[in-house]
Chains A and B, each alone.
Chain A
Amino acid sequence: MHIEIDEISKQFGSTAALTPVSLNLPSGALVALLGPSGSGKTTLLRILGGLEYPTSGRILFDGQDATGLTVQQRRAGFVFQSYALFRHMTVFENIAYGLRARPRATRPPKAEIARRVQKLLELIQLPQIGARYPNQLSGGQRQRVALARALAIEPRMLLLDEPFGALDAKVRKELRQGLRDIHDETGLTTVFVAHDQEEAMELADLVVVMSMGRIEQIGKPADIRARPASDFVRNFITA
């Protein structure tokens, strides 16, 4: 799905988390939001997912105004920074949650739900862990379960807030490739927040560098490396 962000701004009391930003994300792209802490990455992602209302501006999905759509209507697969797995539910129940929450008319039958959950568990290469609870999983496993849960609703896009933030270096590398594979397989427009410039540069098709609520530069990793648009970007990507 093609996502267009049109002059979106967000004000929290007296802090401007986003001064008007505009952004065009082509269908099927894997996009990294990169920037220092407090630059507004999470805010932008949450506005895309419908978890936060913009103070002004519009969001277009495939050319249609989506600003007024509720969270539920957006159908954005959202992976939270700390995963937000339901701790009182098993992995299976976590992944099945979105399907079971559908209205009766569109809810798949029980057997179909089980089949789809199993398929997702295989996709994340953890076919055996359906009966476990989140606190019985490692950090990397939790992250993959969160991804599977987001994918279960057949989302129109995938939004991930620092998906590798809480993991150690080795696991990060593995999961990075995992995200790339899943992206390529599903073809979903994917936006992820990255703290780490190497991660963004290596994984993304398109990198959006942000600072203080503004977009400093948008471009392919190679272009940004070769031609940083400002001193800030130069310093940030060489840091």
Chain B
Amino acid sequence: MSDATTLAAPPRPRAFRAATEESPAVRRGLILIAVAGLAILVFAPLIVVFAEALAKGAVAAVKSLQSKDALSAIRLTLLIAAISVPLNAVFGIAAAWFITKFDFRGKAFLITLIDLPFSVSPVVAGLCIVFMFGANSLAGGWLVAQGFPIVFALPGIVLATVFVTFPFVARELIPVMIEQGRAEEEAALTLGASGWRVFRTVTLPNIRWALLYGVLLCNARAMGEFGAVAVVSGKIRGQTATMPITIEMQYNEYLSVAAFSLAAVLTLLALVTLLLKTILEIRHADEIAATRRH
């Protein structure tokens, strides 16, 4: 290896910089701004949640979570997510199938309608449900008479939750299914597979990660929805008070540890969601829609 020195490439000029790079100083500056901005805007609130929850020690925090109100709120929130997330997944799959497997007029308009809940204020969403199903409305009055109230009860909260999370799953699936095209499904059909079988054995395996991704985002939003639920729930303690609503009530009663402990539970959920989301993005980037907007 004695000739290695003579064959060595000429030293790279120290000042060399690719034409598509900024100078190191500029890079460092931009990274610093990004880190500082996110530290102030995102990390600081995150830390505060746990700091306030633990302000009087871990025992107090855990104890407040075992109160009757907190437990019933947790149960209610889990129940609502367990109903509304599957509803949303079914809708998302059906809508994505309809939109990507068939050609019809007004497709763009339909997609706009599905996106509509993104740009409607959650409070207005709740208001709409109140006018549709409230005791003063036609449908609501009849349902109340049948002993099946919607507003100020579980069904109303579910409806409001489905409204605000409406586009989540469909939005994830549509771009993926457009990209994958129809050829594999057509091939399965020519091989004699029934429609249901085509979906189960060909489509579903190709969209499962995108579906999981959409369900994850949908679930996080469903458990945390506040504005729409505040309007339709009536905030009845122990009955229609979800976790976010209970946080508000406890906060307004100056039960800081209790409010922040419950908030910490929801924050942990958000962190787990982000963790799973990051894992999905690293491992299954190709199967998840590239352009995202929520």
Distance in angstroms from A109 CB to nearest chain B CB is 17
Q: Chain B interface: which of A23-31, A96-104, A179-187, A212-220?
A: A96-104
Q: How far is the CA of A2 from the CA of B191 in the complex (A)?
A: 20
Contact of B191 among A50, A51, A87, A153 (CB under 8 A): A153
Q: How far is the CB of B195 from the nearest CB of chain A, in Å?
A: 9
The total of chain A residues at the interface (CB under 8 A) is 25
A77 to B191, CA, bound (A): 7
Judge whether B194 and A84 touch: CB under 8 Å: no
The contact size tier of chain B is 10 to 19
A-B contact count (CB 8 A): 62
Is the pair A76, B190 in contact by a Cβ cutoff of 8 Å? yes
A 150-188 to B, binary, CB cutoff 8 A, 1 in contact else 0: 101100000000000000000000000000000000000
Nearest-CB distance from A6 to chain B (Å)? 22
In-complex Cβ contact of A78 among B187, B193, B206 (8 A) = B187
Cα A88 to Cα B201 with chains together (Å): 9
CB proximity of B99 to chain A, nearest CB, Å = 18
Q: At the interface, is chain B mostly helix, strand, loop or mixed?
A: helix
Give Cα A78 to B190, complex, Å: 6
> Closest approach, in angstroms, between the C-beta of A52 and any C-beta of chain B?
10
CA of A49 to CA of B192, assembled, Å: 11
Give the residues from 167 to 195 in chain B that come closer than 8 angstroms, CB to CB, to chain A: 183-184, 186-194
Chain B contacts of A84 at CB under 8 A? 183-184, 186-187
Which residues in A have their C-beta under 8 angstroms from that of B193?
72, 97-98, 101
A86-B202, A88-B206 known; A153+B192 contact, CB < 8 A? yes
Q: Which residues of B contact A87 (CB under 8 A)?
A: 184, 206
Indicate whether B205 reaches chain A with its CB closer than 8 angstroms: yes
Residues of B within 8 A of A90 (CB): none
B206 touches A149 (CB 8 A): no
Contact with A along B83-98 (1 / 0, CB 8 A): 0000000000000000
Q: Are A71 and B205 in contact (CB under 8 A)?
A: no
Give chain A interface residues in 41-55, CB to chain B under 8 Å.
49-51
Of A85, A88, A102, the residue contacting B192 (CB under 8 A) is A102
Is there an interface contact between B183 and A82, defined as CB atoms closer than 8 Å?
yes
Say yes or no: A101 contacts B187, CB within 8 Å.
no
What would 20 A/B residue contacts be, using CB atoms closer than 8 Å? Answer: A51-B190, A71-B190, A72-B189, A72-B193, A75-B192, A78-B186, A78-B187, A80-B183, A82-B183, A84-B184, A84-B187, A85-B187, A86-B187, A86-B188, A86-B202, A97-B191, A98-B193, A101-B191, A149-B191, A150-B191
The residues of A with any CB-CB pair to B shorter than 8 Å are 49-51, 71-72, 74-78, 80, 82, 84-88, 97-98, 101-102, 149-150, 152-153
